[in-house]
Amino acid sequence: MTDAPHIDRAARARTGTLKTRPDSEADPRIHTTLTHLRGLERRAKSLSFLPRQPARSILNGRHASRLRGRGLHFEELRGYLPGDDVRAIDWKVTARTGEPYVRVMTEERDRPALIVVDQRMTMFFGSRLNMKSVTAAEAAALAAFRILDQGDRVGGIVFGDTQLAEIRPQRSRVALNRFLTALADANALLHAEAPRSDPMPLTRVLRSVANIARRDHLIFVLSDFDVVDAETERLVSGLARRNDLVLGLVTDPTAQEIPDGLNLVVSDGVLQAEIDTGTDATRRSLQDMTEGRLAQVLDWQRRFGVPILPLTAGEETLPQMRRLMGLGPGGRR
């Protein structure tokens, strides 16, 4: 019975009917709001998710962009004409008929993009500027606005510990607003007194991604990637083979260096405990656990060719996104 209000709030978050607190009551570093997320639209214009990336962009590989861009549709098969690209010749049909034939392809009008945002309780942590959940939400909104502005379809998956909202990619402001609403609602569910629940496995979320983005999508996953295993790696590898997959690894500055003498208070929503990092053994155990998980995710870049944008909750979101994408302070390349 004690979980009923929380379950009701989660259900309303999925359907976009959750009434969040007034904007004036929200600290933007702890909780984001729909108004704040909508206000990022103008600032998003300095970003680019097109295949042509600046040389210093993390989305640019050693020889070519990691983003393949829009796919191609088969239009027709016709006889070869002088000036046709010989690479378009269909050699099987040519061999069967004895006459040269070419396959005519047209570029898709747009490319669907799916932005996946982690709003689980593990993201409700911050030691310097933002909560990780806020940084992830801001990065997602910035990407969504820019992708729609580029003429591509945009949708998303927003997930917490107990709820998951799916918005199928559309070239529509309505779909974009539904995504931002789901994001603000899920963020509003995060609070220190949240009832205890097992976090939603990342593998479940990635299976939902695979059902929507079967191929030729841009997929942008923003998470701290808490609890990954062999099944997670299998799903990441499969998504990367069939789509343009970008991972936004959201961390807090304490992930890089756990300070000596810091008293951390952790809670499962019912009980709480204090961890004193003043002892070498405790600090070393926490550091090893954090570094091991981050190293595992970062290694996916080498193994699967997946670009990773390391985002920290200790800095403002847009400047670091521009820096990672090789853009100048004013959005210049």
Per domain, the residue ranges of the chain are 4-62+109-324, 72-107
Percentage of the chain modeled with pLDDT above 70: 73
Average pLDDT of the chain? 81
- Nearest-CA neighbor of 325 among 28, 115, 53, 79? 53
How confident is the model at residue 286, as a pLDDT? 46
* SS3 label, residue 311: strand
Asked if residue 246 has pLDDT above 90, the reply is yes
- The CATH number of the structural domain formed by 4-62+109-324 is 3.40.50.410
Number of other CB atoms surrounding residue 7 within 10 Å: 13
Instruction: Indicate if the pLDDT at residue 186 is higher than 60.
Output: yes
Residue 254 above 90 pLDDT? no
Max mean pLDDT range (70-79, 92-101, 171-180, 270-279): 171-180
- The candidate with the shortest Cα–Cα distance to 146, out of 219, 233, 45, 64, is 45
- Work out the pLDDT band at 85, boundaries 50, 70, 90: confident
Predicted TM-score (pTM) of the model is 0.74
Mean pLDDT of 274-284: 49
Whole-number pLDDT of residue 84 = 81
**119: pLDDT strictly greater than 90:** yes
Of 123-127, 179-183, 259-263, minimum mean pLDDT range: 259-263
Q: How confident is the model at residue 224 (pLDDT cuts 50, 70, 90)?
A: very high
For residue range 12-50, what is the model confidence (pLDDT) as tens digits? 544 444 554 444 457 899 999 999 999 999 999 999 887
Residue with token string 């690894």: 249
Average of per-residue pLDDT across 95-119: 83
Answer whether 159's CB lies under 8 Å from 260's CB. Answer: no
What's residue 313's pLDDT?
96
- What are the distances in angstroms from CA 306 to CA 26, 60, 234, 237, 239? 35, 11, 13, 9, 10
Tell me which amino acid residue 160 is.
Answer: G
For the cut 80, the answer to whether the pLDDT of residue 103 exceeds it is: yes
pLDDT of residue 109: 57
Higher-pLDDT residue of 110 and 149 is 149
| Amino acid 256: pLDDT | 59
* pLDDT at 80 exceeding the cut of 60: yes
What pLDDT does residue 195 have?
77
Spatial contact of 127 and 114, defined as CB atoms under 8 Å apart: no
